[in-house]
Chains A and B, each alone.
Chain A
Amino acid sequence: MKLIDTIKYRLTVDVAGRAFLRYERFLNARRLKNARFKSENLAPPLRISAWTKELISLHYFRGRYVEGHQPVAYVTSGGPVEILKALGYYVIYPENHAALAGARHAQMELIQSAEEFGFSQDICSYVRTDLGTALTGKTPVGKLPKPDLLLACTNICQTVLHWYRVLQKIFNVPLVVIDTPFVYTEAPPHAVEYVKKQLENELIPVAERVAGRTLKEKKFKEVVKYSKDATELWLEILNMGRHIPTPISIFDQFIHMAPIVEMRGDKVTVDFYYAMLKEVKERVKKGIGSVKNEKKRVLWDNLPVWYKLSRLAAELADRGVSMPISTYTYAWGELAPLIDIERGMESMARVYLYPILNRGTGHKLEVMRQMVKDFKLDGVILHSDRSCKPYSIGQVPQRNKLMEEFGIPALLLEADHNDERAFSEEQVASRIASFLEMMEVA
């Protein structure tokens, strides 16, 4: 790492950037006091939103100046980031970046660029968004640093394996693949051992070499502890959705999940979720619901439709429908009990083998069953996401089972998390209308 880059980074990011963003947070917090969403029936955004914005802005702002100051890694969202954090890496999650582009409606130009290069419309739209950035340098966050290391963990899909091979071809930097055998029912001991050995014998040596540092156990444990603490807090926040009316909706969760994905292992993330939990508890105490006059409560399955978030939130709120929980946001909390700081890599191996996306379709059904009971839900929307086969396959029988067992309506909604062309306005509107009719809230 170069001294000049470090000085530049310290002055620009740590001094000027932080101060500016803190001031902006202060202004945003003031604005939020009187904020309203598009719908009169939606509760105002959480006050914590000002901090979320500061965290995300600072994260990407750091990225503009980080090259030469810190090693940079691109990591899949389910990757074992704690090891990299302990080695001082600045981490970019291309999936999050793609989601952010989608939420800001900046993704289609990037998708177009990737398709012009030859990538098919049938591959994941996160990938096309991200490759659009990698190929053109365009991004809604100003600039993304080039990676020194790529880390792909197959526990969310096989797509990432191929995605990162393409990134490897574009950036010509080392790629470490952590191969996590799919858990159809239970992970056999040889699968746990396999992942553990990959972490120890492949990821650590390569990450150390690229960073020019040695992994220190004390630092690693500290990062894992922050990771565990933040994950536990996130889970507790999500479980607040069991209250009636629910104090937070999945739309809040989609917005505020960025730190648990992007900043897992940082102390500030723990502080942030502690503050968020406090605010959500305040809402419960005051009886503030995410939707005014909550009549029905619905589960969301799969990734969000990023470019339609606010519209969907408003439409449902206007009919008194709240969405207290989703399998997607829950995925970043449910593994908290598996994180065991004292059991080191074996614990990490289990944690990274067991995300919902690396488990069978039956497991997801069980998660949804439990949610229907625990969150007292009246219906389910399963987003059949054209871009995410591992999450979507199994939804047809899952929907049928939920309807049969609970006697509640369940809608399979065809769309795509980032490609707007796969979202049919009329079809979605009519399907949601029928679904609401079935719930008697039309």
Chain B
Amino acid sequence: MDILEKIPSRREVIESFKSTGGKIAAVYPYHYHRALFRAFDILPVEVWGPPGIDTTYGSSYLQPYVCSVVHSGLSFYLSGGLDVVDFIVVPHACDSLQGLGSVYIDFVKPKQPVFTIYIPRGRKDLDVEFLSKEFESIFNRLKELTGKSVTEDKLMEEILKEEEALKKVRELYSKREQISLSDYHFYRVVRSREYLPAEKFMEIADHLLENFSDGTEREGVPVIFSGLLPEPMEILEKLEEIDGRIVADDFACCGRRLYGEGKSNNPFVRMAESILNSPPDSSRGATVDERVEHLSSLVKKYGARGVVFYIVKFCEMELFYIPHMMRGLKERGIPSVYIEVDINDPLPDQTITRLEAFVEVL
């Protein structure tokens, strides 16, 4: 059976969740804690674009030099794509998402309540303290809005459930080489966590681990991808066609969210500890050295032969790191290539040619 048949679509999940009385929160990229919403029977469904939609709607609020993820995200709302959701959540990851949150609150003024979450850029106790209070204030607002008296015990229960789901994602990554699935299929599974309830995701992940781990080694030149997201997802099929394969990633939607577990018994602190214990990434202002070290360790651990920086055009936070990271990797004998994409455009031939040339050299 094709694993994709096991994965319900976003629409199916939303309809099914709402039919049981649950509510939906549309969540923009990219750091937040799912348990905070699940405790109120709200399912977070992430909005990464979506790619390939008509962005002219967004142009009535945003300039053309704002990245396609944000442009599409707003256009999707304005074209009615988010009519079904009950809440809108905009975490603060960059100037463009900051602007999006602000434009939502001040000008778009959607019928749904808008939540913003400021994610601190540090990892110290002070940062954990701030983020825990940020989560607590959202929790209190959700209490008011939903009228539900959710206890901290209930919240902790949801946190533990999400931690289990996260463990499952880790297991998928660690056993990636034994899972006989194309990258396209694998990322469809991993990215289904962007909208599936933890329990459903774990069911699919278990099915995958039981039925698709036949011990056959994957073939192709092993590479690591770094960037926001693998869109258009056609890139993964193209990579396979040119004999490449992804062995690990530093994608904002995937690898950068392999959070560590929190330790505190206070649910807000525990969520904050977890989110801030993520791999080093651009949105949180990691140092260049931390990011080089992280990518190098992934290369070593998974036997990759090179790194592909797959960057969404106008994504300033990613662009800043490229020159020094490419040099840093080169000094460690790791080749890398930089490719720029717009998630709304079809994959250009030039991109495929560059990727092909890179994989051939490796």
Taking beta carbons and an 8 Å cutoff, which residues of A are in contact with B?
117-120, 122-124, 127, 154, 157-159, 161-163, 165-166, 168-169, 177, 179, 181-182, 184-185, 188, 190-191, 193-194, 197-198, 201-202, 360-362, 365, 384, 386, 389-390, 392-397, 401, 414
Among A157, A362, A384, point to the contact of B106 (Cβ < 8 A). A362
* Contact residues of A: prevailing secondary structure: helix
Instruction: Contact check, B122 vs A177: say whether CB atoms are below 8 A apart.
Output: yes
Give the CA-CA distance A401 to B109 in the complex, in Å. 14
Give the CA-CA distance A394 to B103 in the complex, in Å. 6
Q: Which residue of B lies closest to A135 (CB)?
A: B323
B232 within 8 A of partner (CB) = no
Question: Which B residues from 247 to 293 make CB contacts under 8 A with A?
Answer: 282, 285-289
Q: Which residue of A lies closest to B70 (CB)?
A: A393
- Write out the residue numbers on chain B whose beta carbons fall within 8 Å of the beta carbon of A190: 130, 133-134, 137
Interface size counted on chain B using CB atoms at 8 A: 51
Instruction: Contact check, B101 vs A162: say whether CB atoms are below 8 A apart.
Output: no
A-B contact count (CB 8 A): 152
Q: Which of the listed residues A163, A165, A168, A202 has the most CB atoms from chain B within 10 Å of its own CB?
A: A165
Q: Closest Cβ of chain A: how far from B268's Cβ, in Å? A: 11
Instruction: Contact check, B316 vs A185: say whether CB atoms are below 8 A apart.
Output: no
Give the CA-CA distance A181 to B313 in the complex, in Å. 26
Among B103, B118, B327, point to the contact of A182 (Cβ < 8 A). B118
Q: Which residue of A lies closest to B94 (CB)?
A: A158
Give the CA-CA distance A394 to B63 in the complex, in Å. 9
B321 within 8 A of partner (CB) = yes
Instruction: Contact check, A181 vs B130: say whether CB atoms are below 8 A apart.
Output: yes
Instruction: Contact check, A163 vs B106: say whether CB atoms are below 8 A apart.
Output: no
B121 within 8 A of partner (CB) = yes
Evaluate whether A394 and B102 lie within 8 angstroms (CB atoms) in the complex, with A122-B316, A165-B287, A169-B324 already known. yes
- Write out the residue numbers on chain B whose beta carbons fall within 8 Å of the beta carbon of A390: 95, 98-99
- Write out the residue numbers on chain B whose beta carbons fall within 8 Å of the beta carbon of A165: 285-288, 320-321
Evaluate whether A124 and B316 lie within 8 angstroms (CB atoms) in the complex, with A161-B121, A188-B137, A390-B95 already known. yes
B173 within 8 A of partner (CB) = no
Would you give 24 A-B contacts (Cβ < 8 Å), ordered by A?
Answer: A118-B326, A120-B319, A122-B316, A159-B95, A161-B285, A162-B317, A162-B321, A166-B320, A169-B288, A169-B289, A177-B285, A179-B127, A182-B102, A190-B130, A360-B102, A361-B106, A361-B107, A362-B102, A386-B65, A393-B100, A396-B60, A397-B103, A397-B107, A414-B63
Instruction: Contact check, B66 vs A389: say whether CB atoms are below 8 A apart.
Output: yes
Give the CA-CA distance A202 to B126 in the complex, in Å. 10
Instruction: Contact check, B107 vs A159: say whether CB atoms are below 8 A apart.
Output: no
Please name 6 further chain A to chain B contacts, defined as beta carbons within 8 Å, in addition to the given A185-B105, A394-B61, sorted by A numbering.
A159-B95, A162-B320, A166-B288, A168-B288, A362-B102, A384-B63
- Write out the residue numbers on chain B whose beta carbons fall within 8 Å of the beta carbon of A384: 63
Q: Which of the listed residues A154, A162, A182 has the most CB atoms from chain B within 10 Å of its own CB?
A: A162
Instruction: Contact check, B61 vs A162: say whether CB atoms are below 8 A apart.
Output: no
Give the CA-CA distance A163 to B285 in the complex, in Å. 10
Q: Closest Cβ of chain A: how far from B126's Cβ, in Å? A: 5
Instruction: Contact check, B322 vs A120: say whether CB atoms are below 8 A apart.
Output: yes
- Write out the residue numbers on chain A whose beta carbons fall within 8 Å of the beta carbon of B327: 118
Instruction: Contact check, B285 vs A181: say whether CB atoms are below 8 A apart.
Output: no
- Write out the residue numbers on chain B whose beta carbons fall within 8 Å of the beta carbon of A414: 63
